Structure 1
Amino acid sequence: MKTERRYDIDWLRVLAIGLLLIYHIAIVFQPWAMFVGFIKSNESLESLWKPMTLLNVWRIPLLFYVSGMGVYFAMRKRNYKQLLTERTRRILVPLIFGALAIAPLHFIIFQKFYHLPLGYYPHMGHLWFLGNIFIYVLVFTPLFFYLLKNEEGKFKKGLSALMKNPLGPLSLSVFFIAEALLVKPQIFSVYAETWHGFFLGLLAFFFGFLFIYSGQQFWQTISKWKWLYLGLALFLYIIRLLVYETNSPGYLMAIESNCWIFAVFGLGYQYLNKPSATLSYLSQAAYPVYIIHMFALYAGALIILPTQLPPMAKFVAVTAFTFATCYVVYELIIRRVGVLRPLFGLKPKINKLEKKLLQKAA
Structure 2
Amino acid sequence: METQRRHDIDWLRVIAIGLLLIYHIAIIFQPWAMFIGFIRSDELLEGLWKPMTMLNVWRIPLLFYVSGMGLYFAMRKRNWKQLLMERTKRILLPFVFGFVAITTLHMFIFQKYYNLPLGYYPHAGHLWFLGNIFAYVVLLMPLFFYLKKNEHGRFKKGLSFIMSYGAGPLLISIFFILEALVVKPQPFAMYAQTWHGFFLGLLAFLFGFLFVYSGKTFWQTVLKWRWLYIGVAAILYGIRYLEFATEAPGYLMAIESNCWIFGVFGLGYKYLNRPSKILSYLSQAAYPVYIIHMFVLYAGAMLILPMAIPVFLKFIAITAFTVIMSYLIYEFILRRIAFLRPLFGLKWTSKKFENSKLHSPDIKLE
Partner of 2:281: 281
Shift of the 38–356 alpha-carbon distance from structure 1 to 2, 3 Å rule, reads closer
Contact 1:159 1:214 in 2 (8 A): yes
Shift of the 215–297 alpha-carbon distance from structure 1 to 2, 3 Å rule, reads same
1:122: how far off?
1.2
Secondary structure of the corresponding residue to residue 349 of structure 2: coil
Does residue 302 of the first structure (1) align with residue 302 of the second (2)?
Answer: yes
Moved segments of 4+, more than 3 Å: 350-359
Does residue 4 of the first structure (1) align with residue 33 of the second (2)?
Answer: no
Q: 2: distance between equivalents of 1:292 and 1:355?
A: 22
Partner of 2:223: 223
Does residue 46 of the first structure (1) align with residue 34 of the second (2)?
Answer: no
Superposed counterparts of 1:187-336, under 5 Å: 187-336=187-336
Aligned amino acid, residue 176 of structure 2 = F
1:350: how far off?
3.3
Moved more, 350-359 or 286-295: 350-359
Superposed counterparts of 1:58-137, under 5 Å: 58-137=58-137
Contact 2:176 2:254 in 1 (8 A): yes
Partner of 2:180: 180
Aligned amino acid, residue 65 of structure 2 = Y
Secondary structure of the corresponding residue to residue 236 of structure 2: helix
1:152: how far off?
1.3
Contact 1:2 1:77 in 2 (8 A): no
Aligned amino acid, residue 157 of structure 1 = K
What TM-score, normalized to structure 1? 0.97
1:355: how far off?
8.8
1:207: how far off?
0.3
Q: 2: distance between equivalents of 1:207 and 1:326?
A: 32
Cα-Cα RMSD:
1.8
Shift of the 123–351 alpha-carbon distance from structure 1 to 2, 3 Å rule, reads closer
> Aligned pair count?
361
Instruction: Structure 1 unaligned segments of length 5 or more: list them.
Output: none
Aligned amino acid, residue 270 of structure 1 = K
Contact 2:336 2:350 in 1 (8 A): no
1:73: how far off?
0.3
Q: Summarize deviations over 1:7-45 as a string: whole Å, max 9, x none.
A: 000000000000000000000000010011100000000
1:184: how far off?
0.3
Partner of 1:23: 23
What TM-score, normalized to structure 2? 0.96
Secondary structure of the corresponding residue to residue 186 of structure 1: coil
Shift of the 91–34 alpha-carbon distance from structure 1 to 2, 3 Å rule, reads same
Secondary structure of the corresponding residue to residue 245 of structure 1: coil
Instruction: Structure 2 unaligned segments of length 5 or more: list them.
Output: none
